[in-house]
Amino acid sequence: MSGSVKENLLMPTRTTLTIPPPATTQRTSPEDRTRRVSVAVYAQDLVLRIGVVHQLRQRPEVELVDEAEADRARTSLVIVDSVDDDVIALLQRLQRNAGTRTGLVVGTFETAALQRVIECGVAAVLRRAEADQDRLLHLVLAMAKGEGVLPGDLLGKLLTHVGGLQRSALDPRGLALSTLTAREADMLRLVAEGFDTSEIAQKTAYSERTVKNVLHEITTRLQLRNRAHAVGYALRNGLI
C-alpha cells in the first residue's frame, strides 16, 4: 500500500472540500442536527470516499462530519478493497473511541478476516457491491441504535464459530493437544492445497509472520517434523 493511500485511509472524509453541497440543501436547525446520526467516512482512495459521501449526504437522517469533528461522530464507516494489516490498525484506532460505532464496507472479504474485524469492534459489515444508498443508510441507523449488521452467509459462519468456542469451553478436552483451532485448520487446509506463506497470508488477512507462527505452533505442539507432516496428521485424524 503506497504512502498516499495509507494517509487517505487514516483520514476521515472532508465533506466540505470533496463534494459541494447541492444547491437545494437547506440550513438545518440545532434540533434537527441532534436527531441526525453523525457519520465520519474513512476510505482508501478518493473515489471510494466521494461515492459513499455522495450517497449519504442526500439523506436527511445523516449528518456527515469533517476531519475536525470526526471524534464526535456516533458512527464511522471504513470503506476498503479488502482487510489487511493497515485496515486492522485503523479499526483498532477507531475502537479506542468508545462513543463511536464502526461499520466496514469492503470489496472482498475472506471468512478468516471475520473474527479479526469483530475483535476490532466492528459492529456491521457490508459488501461494497451491495452498498447502495438504502443499505448504507440502514447500516448507519442500525449502528446508531446499537444493532449489528452482517451479510447472511457471514452471520451463519459467525454462529458456527461461536458454537465451536462454546463447545470447547464446555468440554475440558476441547483444548487438547490433538485439537486444532479454526484458524489453524484453515491455514493447514491452504497448505494442503499448495499455497505458500505469502499466499496464505493474503487469503486469511493475517501477516506472513502470523502465518509462520501459527504453523510453527502446530508442528511444535503436535510434535511434528514440518508442514507436510502436519497436513498428513490432520487429514488422518479428521481435523481438516
Which pLDDT does position 182 carry in this prediction? 84
Q: Which cell goes with 70?
A: 470526526
Digit-coded pLDDT (tens) for 59-72:
999 999 987 888 88
Consecutive H or E run containing 47: helix 46-57
- CATH topology assigned to domain 3-153: Rossmann fold (3.40.50)
103 Cα distance to chain centroid: 8
Angle at 211 between CA 224 and CA 230, to 5 degrees: 20
- Domain map (residue ranges) of the chain: 3-153, 172-236
pTM: 0.56
Digit-coded pLDDT (tens) for 115-159:
788 888 999 999 999 999 999 999 999 999 999 888 877 766 666
Which pLDDT does position 178 carry in this prediction? 55
Integer Cα distance of 48 and 230 in angstroms: 42
Secondary structure of residue 80 in the 3-state scheme = strand
Secondary structure of residue 128 in the 3-state scheme = helix
CATH class of domain segment(s) 172-236 = mainly alpha
What's the mean pLDDT in 186-213?
92
**Band of the pLDDT at 196, cuts 50, 70, 90?**
very high
**Higher-confidence residue: 159 or 54?**
54
What's the mean pLDDT in 44-68?
89
Integer Cα distance of 117 and 151 in angstroms: 14
Strands (E), 71-145: 75-80, 101-106, 122-127
Integer Cα distance of 151 and 157 in angstroms: 10
